[in-house]
Amino acid sequence: MKCLKLLADPTRLRILLLLQSHELSVVELQDILGMGQSRISTQLSLLKQEGLVTDQRSGKNNIYQANLPEELYVIAKKAAEELPECSKDHAALKHLNRKRKDKARAYFDELAGKFGKNYVPGRSWKALAEALIKVMNYDVIADLGAGEGTLSQLLALRAKKVIAVDISPKMVEFGQALAIQHDLPNLEFRLGEIEDVPIDNATVDLAILSQALHHAEDPLRAIAEAYRILKPGGRILILDLAKHSFTKAHELYSDRWLGFPEGELAEMLEQAGFHDIETAIVDRETKAPKLQTLVATAGKK
Task: Find the helix packing angle between 85-101 and 10-21, rounded to 10°.
Answer: 40
Residue 35 has pLDDT above 60, yes or no: yes
Q: Which of helix, strand or coil describes residue 215?
A: helix
Residue 69 has pLDDT above 90, yes or no: no
Residue 183 has pLDDT above 80, yes or no: yes
For residues 11 and 132, give the distance between their C-alpha atoms in angstroms, rounded to a whole number.
Answer: 42
The mean pLDDT value of the chain amounts to 88
CB 142 within 8 A of CB 208: yes
Q: What angle do CA 290, 108, 204 make, to 5 degrees?
A: 90
User: What pLDDT was estimated at residue 113?
Assistant: 60
Measured CA to CA in angstroms, residue 233 lies from 74, 134, 138, 276, 280 at distances of 44, 21, 11, 11, 22
Q: Beta strand 187-191 with 161-166: parallel, antiparallel or unpaired? A: parallel
**Average pLDDT of 168-196?**
94
User: What pLDDT was estimated at residue 83?
Assistant: 86
Q: Grade residue 251 by pLDDT with cuts at 50, 70 and 90.
A: confident
State the amino acid at position 66 in one-letter form.
A
According to the CATH classification, is domain 2-88 in 1.10.10.10?
A: yes
Sheet holding 187-191, edge to edge: 187-191, 161-166, 140-144, 204-210, 230-241, 292-299, 275-284
User: What pLDDT was estimated at residue 61?
Assistant: 81
CB 278 within 8 A of CB 220: no
Burial (CB count within 10 angstroms: exposed 0-12, middle 13-18, buried 19+), residue 118: exposed
Among the ranges given (109-123, 195-209, 232-246, 269-283), the one the predictor scored with the smallest mean pLDDT: 109-123
User: What pLDDT was estimated at residue 284?
Assistant: 86
**Same fold flag, 2-88 and 110-299:** no
Domain borders along the chain are 2-88, 110-299
For residues 224 and 301, give the distance between their C-alpha atoms in angstroms, rounded to a whole number.
Answer: 14
User: What pLDDT was estimated at residue 156?
Assistant: 94
Q: Could you give the percent of the chain with pLDDT greater than 90?
A: 57
Rg for the chain, CA atoms, rounded: 22
Among the ranges given (44-53, 58-67, 150-159, 263-272), the one the predictor scored with the smallest mean pLDDT: 58-67
Measured CA to CA in angstroms, residue 68 lies from 65, 77, 104, 274 at distances of 9, 11, 35, 36
* Distance in Å from the first CA to the final CA of the chain: 52
Measured CA to CA in angstroms, residue 132 lies from 8, 99, 137, 230 at distances of 51, 24, 10, 21
For residues 19 and 141, give the distance between their C-alpha atoms in angstroms, rounded to a whole number.
Answer: 42
How do residues 138-152 score in pLDDT, each as one tens digit? Answer: 999 999 999 989 999
Residue 228 has pLDDT above 60, yes or no: yes
For residues 211 and 242, give the distance between their C-alpha atoms in angstroms, rounded to a whole number.
Answer: 11
Residue 47 has pLDDT above 60, yes or no: yes
Taking each continuous run of H as one helix and of E as one strand, the counts in the chain are 13, 10
User: What pLDDT was estimated at residue 107?
Assistant: 60
Q: Under CATH, domain 110-299 is a member of which superfamily? A: Vaccinia Virus protein VP39 (3.40.50.150)
User: What pLDDT was estimated at residue 4?
Assistant: 79
